[in-house]
Amino acid sequence: MGGVTSTWVEPSNTATALLLLGRGSDPATERGVECPGDLPAPSDPDLVARAAAAKAALGTKVFVLGHHYQRDEVIQFADVTGDSFKLAREAAARPDAEYIVFCGVHFMAESADILTSDAQKVILPDLAAGCSMADMAVLSQVETAWDVLTELGVAADTVPVTYMNSSADIKGFVGRNGGLVCTSSNAKRALDWAYQQGGKVLFLPDQHLGRNTAVLEMGLSLDDCVLYDPHKPNGGLTEQQLRDAKMILWRGHCSVHGRFTLDSVNEVRERVPGVNVLVHPECRHEVVTAADHVGSTEYIIKTIEAAPAGSAWAVGTELNLVRRLALAHPDKQIMFLDKAVCYCSTMNRIDLPHLVWALEELAAGRVVNQITVDRDTAHHARVALDQMLALPGADTPPPAAA
């Protein structure tokens, strides 16, 4: 399986220290995301014992959630693993757990706070664990874009749809303006509903998921989609472009999935005859169209599990998950789609030392790094989430928050 390549050559002592701390900059990534290169060796074994002891002391008062992209040293202490929405719903289904420790990133912990009761406290072991994609859609920018659409007279016919990978502020905006949240699994169902409400969609914040769903699953053309850049007047678009567009895509993307290229696909096909290319829909349009299979994180896992022994798979998603799949299925050849793509470094900020610290503080009666969403934002975000859960084919909604 491909490893991680680094662009640093003979770094200074200071640069080396920053690299090991996960703070070495990679100019190819978006603001707020840094590529640490290969991760340090596993944590001191004493930390494993301390984490186990603190978790045992807390008993049923704590429920630990682990996202698929987390390090193995953290995943071993998770009560449940999954994608962001599955984990938030798992938290809501555990009303007796006083503490929800979310080993993921900030927007995921916000969603858990929205879906759980006021009596529960959601903890993020490292507050620096953010998401560059979510950070690409700031509420003030989205409100400005909505003002542009309003002045053009098209806002009334536009339904905002936000990907789960967005801040509570953006989910709240969508809920206030008649829209809904979607996941990578139900994006088509969400867009089907949106187009029943209006003739135009503002899709936040991941342009690739929006474009891939609209074009590959709904029959829209690339010309029906325009890209709104919040850093340019009118999003860098003409008034006519905004009026004619059926899909207004926000200029945002995942800094891991967005780095896979068509060259990555072509190279692995040349190197591994008969390989199956399996990618996440957050990948670029040309990557998704060149792949053999496309789907959410849960889809990727199930596809690998169901694959026949001896088959070869190049997987375009976060490296921790790909490595975990390779270890779990030694009878299959599972590799990373592109050797040059790094880990999700913000997700990797949740390491064993941070988890041990959070659990030991909770065991001592000190609540740390609690994530809270204000009531008004939480209310409207819940409206948008509930609308998603009401889609045809949706699973049973989680318990109502108290």
Q: For residue 363, what are its two tokens?
A: 């065991």
Q: For residue 284, what are its two tokens?
A: 């670029």
Dist CA 238 CA 152 (whole Å): 11
Residue of 281, 344, 269, 275 lying closest to 316 (CA atoms): 281
Determine whether the annotation assigns residue 254 to a binding site.
yes
Question: What was the pLDDT predicted at 43?
Answer: 53
Query: What is the DSSP pairing of strand 180-182 with strand 225-228?
Result: unpaired
Determine whether the annotation assigns residue 379 to a binding site.
no
Interhelix angle for 168-176 vs 375-389, to 10°? Answer: 70
Using alpha carbons only, how large is the chain's radius of gyration in Å? 21
Dist CA 73 CA 78 (whole Å): 10
183's torsion region: left (phi>0), alpha (psi -120 to 50) or beta?
beta
Dist CA 154 CA 152 (whole Å): 6
Determine whether the annotation assigns residue 27 to a binding site.
no
Residue of 209, 196, 186 lying closest to 395 (CA atoms): 186
Residue for token pair 């060259």: 263
Question: What was the pLDDT predicted at 17?
Answer: 33
207 alpha carbon, distance to own chain's centre: 13
Determine whether the annotation assigns residue 184 to a binding site.
yes
Q: 205 with 162: CB under 8 angstroms?
A: yes
Question: What was the pLDDT predicted at 121?
Answer: 97
Question: What was the pLDDT predicted at 401?
Answer: 41
Residue type, 237: L
Cβ count near 280 (within 10 Å): 27
Q: 56 with 48: CB under 8 angstroms?
A: no
The three-class DSSP label of residue 121 is: strand
236's torsion region: left (phi>0), alpha (psi -120 to 50) or beta?
left
pTM: 0.83
The three-class DSSP label of residue 105 is: coil
Counting as low any pLDDT under 70, the low residues of the chain are 1-44, 341-342, 394-402
Determine whether the annotation assigns residue 345 to a binding site.
no
Query: What is the DSSP pairing of strand 333-336 with strand 370-371?
Result: unpaired
Q: Residue 271 burial by CB count (10 A; 0-12/13-18/19+): exposed, middle or buried?
A: exposed
The three-class DSSP label of residue 40 is: coil
Q: For residue 322, what are its two tokens?
A: 């790909």
Determine whether the annotation assigns residue 165 to a binding site.
yes
Q: 344 with 297: CB under 8 angstroms?
A: no
Determine whether the annotation assigns residue 182 to a binding site.
no
9 secondary structure, DSSP code: -
Question: What was the pLDDT predicted at 341?
Answer: 61
Determine whether the annotation assigns residue 103 to a binding site.
no
Determine whether the annotation assigns residue 255 to a binding site.
no
Question: What was the pLDDT predicted at 394?
Answer: 56
Question: What was the pLDDT predicted at 399?
Answer: 41
Where do the domains of the chain lie, and which CATH numbers do they carry? 45-130+347-373 (3.40.50.10800), 134-253 (3.40.50.10800), 257-343 (3.40.50.10800)
